[in-house]
Amino acid sequence: MIRVRRLPLVPTARKVGACGEQTGAMNDQTLSTPDGRVIGYADYGPEAGTAVLWCHGGPGSRLEPAAVAAAAAAAGLRIIGIDRPGYGLSSPIPERTIADWVPDGLAVADALDIDQFVTVGCSTGGAYALALAALAPARVLGVVACCALTDMRWAEGRSTMSGPASIGIWDASDRDAALKIATETFGEDGSKMLSAGDAPAVELAPTDLALFADPSFLAGMAAAIPAMFAQGVQGYVDDRRADGPGWESFDVGAITCPVIVVHGGSDTICAVVQAHHTAEIVPNAELRVSPELGHFSVMSEVQPAVLDLLR
User: What is the CATH superfamily name and number for domain 12-309?
Assistant: Alpha/Beta hydrolase fold, catalytic domain (3.40.50.1820)
Q: Where are the domains of the chain?
A: 12-309
Lowest mean pLDDT among 44-58, 101-115, 154-168, 284-298: 154-168
pLDDT (tens digit, 9 = 90+) per residue, 261-284?
999 999 999 999 999 999 999 999
Calpha distance 182→124 (Å, rounded): 15
For residues 38-58, give the mean pLDDT: 96
Q: How many helices (H) and strands (E) does the chain have?
A: 10, 10
Asked whether residue 35 carries a pLDDT value surpassing 90, the answer given is no
**Cα 35 to Cα 28, 31, 106, distances in angstroms:** 21, 12, 17
More confident residue, 286 or 14: 286
| pTM summary value | 0.89
Q: Any idea what DSSP says for residue 31?
A: E
What is the strand order of the sheet 50-55 is part of?
10-13, 29-32, 38-44, 77-82, 50-55, 117-122, 140-146, 259-264, 285-290
Q: Is 17 helix (H, G, I), strand (E, B) or coil?
A: coil
**What's the chain's average pLDDT?**
86
Measured CA to CA in angstroms, residue 67 lies from 62, 258, 269, 271 at distances of: 12, 25, 21, 24
Instruction: Using the predicted structure, report yes or no on whether residue 169 has a pLDDT greater than 60.
Output: no
> Looking at the predicted structure, is the pLDDT value of residue 205 above 50?
yes
Highest mean pLDDT among 76-85, 185-194, 235-244: 76-85
Q: How much of the chain exceeds pLDDT 70, in percent?
A: 84
What pLDDT, on the 0 to 100 scale, is given for residue 33? 81
